[in-house]
Structure 1
Amino acid sequence: MKNLLNPKWLLIINILPVTLLFVVFFSNYNIIESLLTIETKILWSKFFWALAILTGFQLAYLIFSTVKKKTISVYYALIVLVLYSALIYCYTQYIGLLIPNNIPNWMISSDIIMYPGTFLMPTLAHALFILVVVFSKHATYADVWLNFLYGISTPLAAYIFAEIILPLWKKPEDNYGDHTLIIFFIAASIFFLFFICRGFYVLTTLQSKRLLKYNLYWKILIALLLPLLGLCIKNGVLSNSTGLGTSYFGNFTHPWFYIIAIINGLLICLPIFKRPDSRLLRFFGLMICFPYCIYFFLVFLPYLPLAIVAVVVIGIGFLMLSPLFLFILQTDELYKEYRYLSQSYSTVKITIGSLIALSIIPLTITVFNLRDKKILNEALSYVYSPDYSKNYTIDRISLFNTITAIKANKRPNLFTNENIPFITPYYNWLVLDNMILSDEKISVLEQVFFGEKKEDPAIEQDNSIGKVWPSKIKVKSKFNQKQQYWISTLDLELTNPDSTNLVSYGTEFTLPEGCWIRDYYLHIGNRREPGILAEKKSALWVFSQIRNENRDPGILYYLTGNKIAFKVFPFAAKEIRKTGIEFIHKSPVTLNFAGHVLSLGKNDPNVIAKIETVDHATYIPATEKAKLKLVRRKPIYHFIIDISKNKATSIRSYMTRIKNLTSSHNLKTEDIRLNLTNAFYKEIPMDSDWDKQLNRNSFEGGFFLDGAIKKILVNSYKNNKAEFPVMIVLTDSLSEAFIQNDFADLKMTYPESPNFYELDMNHKLWIHNLHTNPKLRLTLSSTLPNALPVFAWPNAVQPDAYLPNDGQPSIVLMPRRNNTGLSVEKKSWLSGLNLQGMWIRNTINDNLPENPHLQLVKKSMQSGILSPSTSFLVVENQAQKMALLKKQEQILSGNKNLDPDEETQSMTEPNLYILIVLLLVIFGYRFVKSRHIPLKC
């Protein structure tokens, strides 16, 4: 430990952690600054300069000591202990003013109040160790027991003070007495830790025959008994209760905590071998386990000042000190072994071997985390954003283990910590990109891959929705002569007729084809606040957080297809609020809004609609589409057969239904495809042995009907043959099938009809609709559909697409080989068309660029047009805007299939990652340095 007197330690122990603390606090301050008063900003400034001056002092002292080649002075340690203790004390006194109650919890990191203690505690511990080393130069055998006696006397004195003197304490009228008690507690904690650490340091370093005689006994106590006893008491192993449970310090119930504790303890307690190779193996074994020792030292480091309280109150507080004792003991053992082995082996080889050994546990954790990340991303991609040309194989056992781990790591809480300190934030950072996998998506994965039954969630009715109604509607339309499109503005006055309740307004409406939203506003007070175009998930998350506080958000976003959700909140009793939406459209359209039929634009005989083409899409107006040739495509019958868990007994029934339907409707076998569907789907032709193939399948997982339908539709669309799919589902219970939403996003893939069919156990053929509520039975059908006429674009000889015969305009995806090179203006109609083409390409996963979701969001923001990947959000202040930008940045840098449903602990992990990296750097530096300058302990 004498090497701690090297001033270079100040860079790693103080300056770098404090720099990280500055970054963390600046990030949070930047968000909430607009909500702070002048007095609070001044207080922030004072703490900033206080910490900056202390850090400058540390840096200056580091440079001075390094240049002068001096070791750290005892006076430095005393000054640091006093000043940094005072700084932390003042911070705890003023935390309520630094972060006022008017700051919403969701805007800042939830455990920000713990950061100064976490980041500054290494500096205090380092100063304390310096005092221990300096005042132990001439220690004797008697000093060991005297220091332990002094250390034990400190909590004893505190207990006597609390029981006898404190009840007689006459509290002054001001808070002078409270400050005195706190200062007394700080001083007592420092004295207690100093004497205990000094006693143990002398015990491990003093070469005394009397101490060496009992060397094994206190090693067994420190390295084996205390760690295991602490784990057992913490986890309630020694009683029928849950012990301290998982509510304090963290969850250490995993068997590996016990296994490594036993291995590490046994290695420390082993006798000193005479053969160098045996000692080398023991040394590397201790190195492998050393991250475990460092881990618990870091976990309990912020709690060390509370050890004296734990000793007084519950009597087992010394267990909190066992990680500190073990750290000192194991560091000393490693140092001694390294010095000995350097005489027999190359220091370079020992150093490299030590670094490899140190990295085994961290790398093992990382490898398992990366495996979970890979499996989870594959599963989410398969369910939510599949590549329909790819055949997926996902290890269900590994996925089950991954989901189990994610469940165990969910929802960290500052005061009821059910997670593993440092390891859980690291897992959430690496595997979940600092977001979460929502309970809903966990349930979906379990239903799809493991066949877990899941009831369709009941739709919760918001009683406040519907009470507010549009009391005034005004539509203004203007034609852009230069670019030949309409700009229509819908201005609304929304009225709350309720005289008592705080309510909200919400409605849904469908945009006509070729119509987009390019602006939105909401009046907040007397000012008109424009909408911010932001990534959809981050906007929805911020909207939800603001609404929980009864503030003033308004939001517009896509649901499925062209359906838009529109919400405004809140409305006070009898309140009238103004809002508006701006549309752009090529031709006059009719919009059904909240029960009102609105005409956007006017028919003008001088304006002739024409075909428009951009890089990603072509717009074909209804008049031009009517000029195309109608064709009839050949129906291909896709039987989607449920082979999920427990469906083996239904196979005979399936085969009977298929045979009866094919014979009664005279279906040709070459026109039939059998889609065997559970969690995955496999298409086979109806050949001579189709019934045998059906029996040979494994019946496991859920019935992923959603994926089967999408794959059939998308592949049919991409193949672009003169064929269209007729889908017939065979299952005993369609309600148990998994369907995410409707299939309106894929409407371009089924121009003939939005219907699909269910063939039930009674051989009845039910019609279902792909557009709305696909699981709902609409009506019975006695026949399968004939080929309905559709338009062939651009011609019937070599069509690029088939368009529905519905009298409406259509948008066609441009072939990838075509590039118009057209320059598109921001917020123009052509930019909306181009964005729609990008969205269609993303939906069918057609040769997408890297990170297509990010590209869509960027393109939407550049064009100023609302897309299914973005949302228009109105917020009331700058702080909410900054929080939105921060959440958006976080989401766009992660996996788009994960969720921001609750505030992530995005700032809890840096202290772990930085400290682990720094510790590895420290020990690497010490090993390299020891080749030239012998280390002293």
Structure 2
Amino acid sequence: MKNLLNPKWIIAINIIPSIILIALLYGQLNVIESLLDKNALTMWKDFSICLIVATILQIIYTVFCIIKDLNISGYYAVFTLIIYSVIIYFFGQNSEYLIPFSVPRWMINIDPFYYSGTFLMSSLIHSLFILVVLSSRKSNTTSAGLSFLYGICIPLLGYIFIQVVLPLWQNTESNFSTHVLIVLFLSASILFLFFICRGFYILTTKTSSTLLKFKIYLKIVICIVFPILGLLINNSVFKIKYGVGNEPFGNFSNAWFYIVTVFNGILICLYKIKNENFRLFRFYALLACYPNTLYFFFVFAPFLPLAIVAVIAMGIGFLMLTPLALFTLQTNDLHKEYHNLKQSNSAFKLKTIGTVAFLVLPIFITVSYWKDKLVLNNALEYIYSPDYSKDYRIDVKSLFKTLEVIKQNKTKRRISDNQNTPFLTPYYNWLVLDNMVLSDQKITKLEEVFGGYKNELEPQSRSFSNRAKISKIKATSKFDSHEKVWRSIIDLELTNPSDEDLDSYETVFNLPNGCWVSNYYLNIGNRKEYGILAEKKSALWVFSQIRNENRDPGILYYLSGNDVAFKIFPFGSKEIRKSGIELIHKEPITFKIDDKSIDLGNKLQIAAGKIESINGTTYIPAREKAKLKLVKRIPQYHFLIDVSQGQERHKENYYNRITQFIKTKGIKSDQIKIDFVNALLNEIPYHSKWKNELVEQDFNGGFYVEGAIKKILAQHYNTNNNTFPVMIIVSDDSKIGILTQNFADFKLAFPESNFFYELDRENNLWSHSLENNPKNRIEKVSKITNHGTRVWKNKTNYHCYLSNDDQASIAINSKLIENDFAVEKQKTWAAGLNLQGMWFNGFINKSFSNENHLNMIKQSIISGILSPTTSYLVVENEAQKMALKQKQAQILSGNKNLDPDEETQRMDEPNLYLLLLLILLVFKFKKNLTFLSLATK
């Protein structure tokens, strides 16, 4: 511990944590500043100045000591101990004013009070250790016993104080009594820790014959018995004896905590063996276990002031000091052993191998987490952004282990439980989940796809009535002669006809091809507030949080295909609200919303009406498409056979159904593909012995029809030949497998027909819609639909098949699309066409990577055109805008297949209910109402 007198320790233990704390607090203030009153802002300013000045003084002192080659002085330690205690006390006393309850909780990303204690506690402990070392230099061996005696006397005096003095304490109307009690408590805690640390330090550094005789027993108790007892108590005794939750200090139930703790304790106790090779092994092994000791030391550091309360209340408070004692003992042991081994070994060798040994546990944990990340990302990519040219191999066992960890980290049981593992859970969430979460809906889908689970879990959502209706609608359209496009503004007046508050308006409207949303506004009070175009997930998250506060959000975003969701909340009783949407379109259109229709653009005015291309994406107006050649491609039959878990018994039935259908319809063998579908798709050509391959299939996982259909559509679109896919599901599952989405985004890939089919047990063929509610049967059919298709060719003879209808169409040549295509100016029709092409190309041609996703978001925001990756959101104040900006930055830096928080997530914190419990247990000895009122002020 003498090494702690080196001034370089101030940088790591004091200065860096202070700078991190300043940065975190600044980030929090930046979000909520507009919601704070003048007094709160002044308090923030005063606190910041104190913290910054203290940090600057630390830096000056450190530089001075390094230049002068001086050790840290006792005056520095006393000064730091006092100053940082005052700062923590000040923040704790005023935390409710710094972040008042009027600030919505979802805007609070950190717990400033806990963070201040955590990041500043290291400075207090360092100062305490310095005073321990300096005060013990001239101590004799008996002073260890005196130090422990002094330390034990402090909780005894505290008990007497509670029993005798407090009942006589005269409470006053001022807060003076409360401040006095808090100061007394902090002073007692510091003195208690000082004497206990001093006693342990003297025990581990002095070598009298008396101490050596009992040293091995003390080591066994401190290094093995107490740590294991502490883990057991944390995991079970609290629940049994006191009725609080499991693991109040955190989840340490993993077997590795016990294994490393016991192994480390045994190594410390085997200090007498003199064999050189064993001593080297022991030294490196102790260094390998040292991160575990450091981990528990930092986990329990914020609780150290409460150890005295726990001693008074339960008598087991000394267990809270075990990490401190073990840290002191092991640090001294390593320091001594290093100097002894250096006599016969190279210092470079000891340091090099020692550094590697120290990093073993952190590297092992990191590699384990990184493997979880790779497995999870691979599974998420397969489900949500697959590369259809890639052969996926999913490690299902590892995936489900990862999902269990994620679910455990998300678990919120009783308020007194703490299911997270301090520091490790935040590290896991950062490394594996990019500080986001995997929603319950996605966890359920992964379990269904890869495990064959029949989950019925539905995402929980607050239900809102939708009584508000459009009472007035009007539109203004102007033709932009320069760009040859129409710009239309639809003004809406929405009325809540009921007498109830908190109604909402929610609807979905469909945009024709070649029409894009270029702006949106909502009246908030007497002002017109225009929407912010932001990343979609962050906008939806902020909308949800504001809505839960019953405030004023409005939002526009794509669902699937050309369907756009439009939501406004809230509406008061009989309230009338005004909103508007701006559209940009190439031709006159009829815009439909709810039961209202309105013509946009003058149909009598001649529009451009010509084929236009940008960045590999081509717009073909209806008039031009009608001139194209009409052809009927050959159907390619895909039989999607259910080979999921539990379907083995239906093999013969599947074979008979398909064989009979082929024979009845007279389908040629070269028009048939056999697709074995479970979590993955295994496609084979049709041949006379395909039954053998059916029999040999592994029936596992879920029947992932959704993924199979998407892959078939994508492959046919990219093949671009004279066949079109006819997909026929063959299953004994009445729910026809896993289908959570429609296929409207793939609209360009099925121009002939909007249907896929189901072949039931009686060989009846049922149609299902690819665009709406695909799980629902539509009707029994005897003939496969084929409306034919229009063929468009460009100058390079690239051809594309378009739907045979009276609507404009879009053709996409994926080979020409550039994902970083430059957007020259805002709100142009061409920018919308480019975004359409990028979006479709992203999921039908190749995996829509994070980089492509970011490029599309960037181009959507720059151009001001709504895309499937963005959303127009109206918020009512600057704080909400800052929160949106912060959430967007977090999401854009992570995996696009993960989700924003399902609820406000913070860094893993100690259980505050435990802290209350420890204080309340004091009252078990004396129900003093005066003390209770003071302690809870």
> Is the structural similarity TM-score above 0.5?
yes
| Alpha-carbon spacing, 1:605–1:579, altered in 2? closer, same or farther (3 Å) | closer
Structure 1 residues 298-309: aligned runs within 5 Å? 298-309=298-309
> What is the rounded CA distance, in whole Å, between the counterparts of 2:24 and 2:788 in structure 1?
62
- Residues 10/615 of structure 1: CA separation in 2 closer, same or farther (3 Å cut): same
Q: What secondary structure, in the 3-state scheme, does the structure 2 residue paired with 1:214 have?
A: helix
Per-residue CA shift, 1:719-755, capped at 9, x if unaligned? 0000001110001124151112100000000000011
1:463 to partner: Cα distance? 4.8
Q: Which residue of 1 aligns with 2:16?
A: 16
Point out the more displaced range, 362-371 or 407-416: 407-416
TM-superposition CA deviations, 1:448-469 (whole Å, max 9, x none): 000000338499894521x111
Alignment of 1:585-600 (within 5 A): 585-600=585-600
Name the structure 2 match of 1:417: 418
Tell me whether 1:901 sits opposite 2:901 in the alignment: yes
Residue deviations 1:776-811, cap 9 Å, x none? 0111012334x4321111279955210011110001
Instruction: Tell me the equivalent position of 2:378.
Output: 378
Cα distance in 1 for residues equivalent to 2:473 and 2:738: 40
* Residues 1:682 and 1:109: Cα distance change in structure 2 (over 3 Å): same
In structure 1, what residue type is equivalent to 2:429?
A: N
User: Which position in structure 1 is the counterpart of 2:606?
Assistant: 606
8 Å Cα contact 2:437/2:898 also seen in 1? yes
CA offset at residue 771 of structure 1? 0.6
One-letter amino acid of the counterpart of residue 448, structure 1 = V
Letter of the structure 1 residue corresponding to residue 440 of structure 2: D
Conserved? CA contact 2:386–2:846, under 8 Å: no
What is the CA distance between 1:272 and its match in structure 2?
2.1
Deviations 1:837-877 (A, max 9, x none): 11111121348676211111001011110000000000000
* Aligned-partner SS, 1:891: helix
C-alpha distance in 1, partners of 2:516/2:784?
37
CA distance in 2, matches of 1:805, 1:461: 42
For 2:812, the equivalent position in structure 1 comes to 813
* Matched residue, 1:933: none
**1:427 to 2:428 alignment:** yes
The answer on 1:704 being equivalent to 2:718 is: no
The alpha carbon displacement at 1:81 in A equals 1.4
* SS in structure 1 of the partner of residue 102 of structure 2: coil
Q: Which AA in structure 2 matches 1:120?
A: L
Q: Distance in 2 between matches of 1:50 and 1:242?
A: 41
| 1:515–1:91 Cα change, 3 Å | same
Q: Which residue of 2 aligns with 1:855?
A: 855
Q: 1:405 to 1:849 in 2, by over 3 A?
A: closer
Contact 2:422 2:908 in 1 (8 A): no
CA contact (8 A) 1:521 1:874 kept: yes
Post-superposition Cα deviations, 1:332-377, rounded to whole Å, max 9, x if no partner, equal 1111110111011111011011110110111000000000000000
Partners of 2:242 and 2:393 in 1: how far apart? 41
Aligned to 2:441: 440
> Is 1:454 aligned to 2:465, yes or no?
no
- The answer to whether the Cα contact below 8 Å between 1:288 and 1:357 also exists between their aligned partners in 2 is yes
Aligned to 1:640: 640
Q: Distance in 2 between matches of 1:689 and 1:658?
A: 13
Partner of 2:917: none
Read off the aligned partner of 1:199 and give its amino acid letter. Answer: G
Equivalent residues of 1:454, 1:736 under 8 A apart: no
Q: Is structure 2 residue 235 aligned with structure 1 residue 228?
A: no
Match status 1:355 vs 2:355 = yes
1:191–1:355 Cα change, 3 Å: same
**Normalising by structure 1, what TM-score?**
0.94
Describe the shift of the 1:158–1:821 C-alpha distance in structure 2 as closer, same or farther (beyond 3 A): closer
Over 3 Å counting, the alpha-carbon distance change for 1:755 and 1:887 in structure 2 is same
Q: Which amino acid aligns with 1:753?
A: S
Q: State the alpha-carbon separation in 2 of the partners of residues 461 and 252 from structure 1.
A: 35
Aligned to 1:917: none
Root mean square deviation of aligned Cα: 2.1
Provide the rounded CA distance (Å) in 1 between the counterparts of 2:509 and 2:257.
56
Cα offset for 1:825?
3.2
The residue type paired with residue 296 of structure 1 is F
Q: Could you tell me whether the CA contact under 8 Å between 2:144 and 2:199 is conserved in 1?
A: yes
CA distance in 2, matches of 1:22, 1:415: 30
Q: Which amino acid aligns with 1:388?
A: Y
Residue 895 of structure 2 aligns to a residue whose secondary structure is coil
Residues 222-261 of structure 1: pairs in structure 2 closer than 5 A: 222-236=222-236, 245-261=245-261
Q: Within 5 Å, which residues of 2 pair with 1:387-398? A: 387-398=387-398
Task: Give the corresponding residue for 2:670.
Answer: 670
* 1:804 partnered with 2:803: yes
Check whether the contact 1:453–1:736 (CA below 8 A) recurs between aligned residues.
Answer: no
Question: Judging changes above 3 Å, is the alpha-carbon distance between structure 1 residues 154 and 822 closer, same or farther for their aligned structure 2 residues?
Answer: closer
| 2:527 match | 527
Match of 2:212 in 1: 212
SS in 1 for 2:251: coil
Tell me the equivalent position of 1:322: 322
Q: Cα 1:537–1:850, aligned 2, differ >3 Å: closer, same or farther?
A: closer
Q: Could you say what secondary structure the match of 1:212 adopts? A: helix
CA contact 2:488–2:600 (8 Å) conserved in 1? yes
Q: What SS does the corresponding residue of 2:635 show, helix, strand or coil?
A: strand
TM superposition shift of 1:248: 1.7
Alpha carbons 1:434, 1:904 under 8 Å: kept:
no
Distance 1:404 1:821 in 2: 41
Alpha-carbon deviation of 1:597?
1.2
Structure-2 change in CA distance of 1:252 and 1:458 (3 Å): closer
Is this contact kept in 2: 1:514–1:619, CA < 8 A? yes
Which residue of 1 is the match for residue 880 of structure 2? 880
Equivalent pairs, count: 908
Q: Which runs of 5+ in 1 are unaligned?
A: 910-937
> Residues 105, 769 of structure 1: CA spacing in aligned structure 2 closer, same or farther, 3 A cutoff?
same
| Residue aligning to 2:867 | 867
Q: 1:213 & 1:341 partners in 2: Cα distance?
A: 24
Q: Distance in 2 between matches of 1:436 and 1:849?
A: 19
C-alpha displacement of 1:5: 1.6
1:58 matched to 2:55? The reply is: no
Offset, 1:239: 9.2
User: 1:142: how far off?
Assistant: 1.6
Aligned residue in 1 for 2:624: 624
The answer as to whether partners of 2:239 and 2:246 remain within 8 angstroms in 1 is no
Unpaired segments of 5 or more residues in structure 2? 910-937
Partner-residue secondary structure (3-state), 2:815? coil
2: CA distance between counterparts of 1:636 and 1:576? 54
Please tell me the residue identity of whatever aligns with 1:91. Answer: F
Shift in CA distance, 733/833, structure 1 to aligned 2, threshold 3 Å: same
Q: 3-state SS of the aligned residue for 1:409?
A: helix
2: distance between equivalents of 1:116 and 1:521?
A: 41
| Aligned counterpart, 2:124 | 124
- Residue 418 of structure 1 and its aligned partner are, at CA, apart by 1.1
SS at match of 1:428: helix
Q: Note the C-alpha offset of 1:244.
A: 5.9
User: Percent sequence identity over matched residues?
Assistant: 51
Moved more, 62-71 or 100-109: 62-71
**1:650 aligned counterpart, secondary structure:** helix
Q: 1:217 to 1:346 in 2, by over 3 A?
A: same
Q: Which amino acid aligns with 1:122?
A: S
Structure 2 SS opposite 1:30: helix
Is the CA contact (8 Å cut-off) linking 2:152 and 2:192 kept in structure 1? Answer: yes
CA distance in 2, matches of 1:895, 1:27: 23
TM-score, length of structure 2 as denominator length:
0.94
Match of 1:788 in 2: 787
For 1:512, the equivalent position in structure 2 comes to 512
Instruction: Specify the code of the residue in structure 1 equivalent to 2:126.
Output: H
- CA-to-partner distance for each residue in 1:871-897, whole Å, 9 max, x for gaps? 000000001000001100110110111
Give the 3 Å change call, closer, same or farther, for CA 241–753 of structure 1 in structure 2: farther
* Per-residue CA distance 1:194-252 (angstroms, 9 max, x = gap): 11111111011012111111111101011111001111111127996798643521011
Amino acid paired to 2:801 = Y
1:891 aligned onto 2:891: yes
The one-letter code matched in structure 1 to 2:812 is L
Map 1:434-513 to 2 at 5 A.
434-455=435-456, 457=458, 462-465=463-466, 467-513=467-513
Is the CA contact 1:521–1:528 (under 8 Å) kept in the aligned structure 2?
A: yes
Partner of 1:735: helix, strand, or coil?
Answer: coil
Deviations 1:411-461 (A, max 9, x none): 579964211100111000000000001111110000000000033849989
The 1-side partners of 2:82 and 2:464 are apart by: 58
Partner of 1:930: none
Change (3 A) 1:463 1:303: closer
In the TM superposition, what whole-angstrom CA distance separates every residue of 1:898-933 from its partner, at most 9, and x where no partner exists?
A: 111335646569xxxxxxxxxxxxxxxxxxxxxxxx
Aligned pair in 2 of structure 1 residues 614, 365: CA closer, same or farther (>3 Å)?
Answer: same
